Each structure stands twice: as structure tokens, then as C-alpha cells.
Structure 1
Amino acid sequence: MATSTWSVDPTHSEVQFKVKHLMITNVTGNFNEFNATATTEGDDFATAQLQFSAPIESISTNNAQRDGHLKSGDFFDAAAHPELTFKSTKVEKVDDETFNVYGDFTIKGITKEAKLNVELGGITKDPYGNTKAGLTISGKINRNDYGLTWNAALETGGVMVSEDVRLNAEIQLVKQEA
């Protein structure tokens, strides 16, 4: 079976994260720029090798002051560590549309194994004849594992920013012609 290469369609994709603030609500952020690729045997995503990267400078939470703080040494340290990356190491097929994807997630120069849940929405041709695949990706990481340890204790107990970060992405891939 021939190897297929897929690249992200950025106009039909998004990468978001959510973090609890004051332990009562979630703040949502995204990366305005990112790259994702997949290599599969034919169109079989159970054989996928996935790679993802995002420049830290493209982070956005719709608040310039908070975005600046996230890019600082308190969090991502964008000057010293300009991007985060994920590279898959193993794919477990749960069923025809669902996969557990394990891989090396690197943030702030620290690499840890992470597990992502991936749902294959389908594979189809667009009106221009391009073969496209849709992936819904979710997961959770502990930001402290990656050196993102800034926090503040609250007068009422608890902390300002939760340790858990929920990851959510809608990725549309375009199959590249051989």
C-alpha cells in the first residue's frame, strides 16, 4: 500500500486550550498559527504518524496583557522556546473512527509523553477534487509538568490558574498528491 502524506488546511482548522481561572470559569485561548502533518498507509489513520507545531508568539486569549504574560518567562518563555511541538509515537485504534494517539509533547524545552483522543470525522473529496480528512482532537496535560508553574494563591483558598490544561483541536488535512 502506498504511503500518503497529509498537510493541514489552516483555513478549516483551529487549535484551542482551556484553563480554569479563579477555579470558577474557563479561559479559552488558541494558536493563530500552527502546522500539522500526517503520514498514513493509504488512508488508514490507524497507521498515522502525526506531527504538530505552533509558534508561541501566535498565542491569543483575546487579552493583550494576558497574552504578553503567557509569552513571558513566567509561562512559555517565547524568546527562549519559540514553539511547542507534538510528535506521535504510537496509535491505538479504539474503533473505526476513534484512536488514542501517544506522543512526545514538548513545551518550554521539556518533553513528556502525552495521550490525545482523536476522532476521525471522515475522508471526502472537496469541490476542487482534493481529498480531505477531518480530525477532532482532545486531551489534557498538567502545565506544571512543562515548567509552566506561575500561579497565585487566592485569599479564599485555591489558586488563580488551574494545573490542568484541556486541549481541543479541529484539524482538516489535505492529502498531498504523490
Structure 2
Amino acid sequence: MATTKWAIDSTHSEIGFKVKHMMFTNVSGNFSDYEANISTEDDNFENANIEFSANIDSINTNNTDRDNHLKSGDFFDAENFPKLTFKATSFTKNGDDYELTGDLSLRGVTKTVTLPTEFSGLMKDPWGNTKAGLNISGKINRKEWGLNWNSALETGGVLVGEDVKLNIELQLIKL
């Protein structure tokens, strides 16, 4: 069977995340500079080969000071670890949806994560291109990758939550 290569359609995709701020509201952010190598053996994406990387310097939370802090040694340490990477080890059906498992590397630490994934199927766009949709969610604990910085609040609790919720919307285009 022929291998199909896919690219991320960046105009219709978002690599997003949310983190609790002051324990009661979420701050959202995304990475705007990323790349992926994706290949499949069939149209249902089972056992897809997925490799992804994002440039830490492209982090955007709509606040320059916060973005600079996230790039610093307190968090991602972009100077020494300029990319986050993900390499899938499996993409398997789980009921109506899928599970994407792979190795996530941040700040020089690699851990295996499993992320619930919704596969939206295939569709032709008005220009005849075949597109596929993936919505990847889940959460990780940032401290497992050494992103430990925090600040105690007078009222108790901490400034930055440990759990990072992922919200990754991918529209892929068949090459």
C-alpha cells in the first residue's frame, strides 16, 4: 500500500494551550511557528507516523512580558531548548475516537503522553485538495518537564497552575 504524506494547513490550524492563572481563570496561548512530518498507510489515520516540532520563540499569550518570561530559564529556557518536539509511537482507535501516544520533549526532558484525538475524516475543499481534521486535547503537568516556576499568592494557592490543557486543531492537506 502506498504511503500518503500530509502537511499542516497553518491557516486553518492552531497549536493552543490553557493554564490556570491565580487558580481561577485560564490564560490561553499558542505556538505560531511549527512543522510536522505526517504520513499514513490508509485514510483512517490508524498507525499514522506523526512527528511535530514547535519553536519556543513563537509562543504567544497576547502579553509580551509574559511571553518573554515563558521563554526564559524560569520556564521553557528557549535559549538552551529552542524547540518542543513530539514523535508519535501509536495512533489507535478508541471507540468512536482515537488516542495519540508519543514522546513529548520539552526543556530537554522526554516523557510519553497519551492524548485523546477526534478524527473528523476526509473532505475535499473547493479547489480539489483532500483535507483531514484532527482535534487533539488532553492535559499535561508542566512540572514533569521541569517547568517548575511559580509564585505564592497572599490569599493562598499559586499564580500559575501545574496542569496545561492542550487544544490542538489540525487541518491537514494531502500532498
**When the two structures are superposed, what TM-score results if normalisation uses the length of structure 1?**
0.95
Partner of 1:114: 113
Which digits, 9 at most, give the CA deviation of each residue in 1:86-136, with x for residues without a partner? 11112221135x111110000011000011111111201112221110111
Which digits, 9 at most, give the CA deviation of each residue in 1:2-29, with x for residues without a partner? 1111111111101110000010100001
Trace 1:51-90 onto structure 2 (pairs within 5 A): 51-90=51-90
Trace 1:5-154 onto structure 2 (pairs within 5 A): 5-96=5-96, 98-154=97-153
Mark the runs of 5 or more structure 2 residues left unpaired by the alignment: none
| Misfit runs of 4+, over 3 Å | none
**When the two structures are superposed, what TM-score results if normalisation uses the length of structure 2?**
0.96
Which digits, 9 at most, give the CA deviation of each residue in 1:132-167, with x for residues without a partner? 101111010000011100001111111111110000
Mark the runs of 5 or more structure 1 residues left unpaired by the alignment: none
CA RMSD of aligned residues (A): 1.0
Rounded to whole Å, the distance in 2 between the matches of 1:100 and 1:18 is 20
Identify the range of structure 1 (83-92 vs 59-68) with the bigger mean alpha-carbon deviation.
83-92
Question: For the Cα contact (< 8 Å) 2:153–2:159, is it kept in 1?
Answer: yes
Which digits, 9 at most, give the CA deviation of each residue in 1:50-89, with x for residues without a partner? 1111000000000000000000000001110001011111
Report the residue type matching 1:110 in the other structure: V
Rounded to whole Å, the distance in 2 between the matches of 1:156 and 1:165 is 22
Secondary structure at 2:138 match in 1 = strand
How many residue pairs match? The answer is 175
Secondary structure at 2:46 match in 1 = strand
Secondary structure at 1:44 match in 2 = coil
Report the residue type matching 2:56 in the other structure: I
Rounded to whole Å, the distance in 2 between the matches of 1:150 and 1:33 is 24
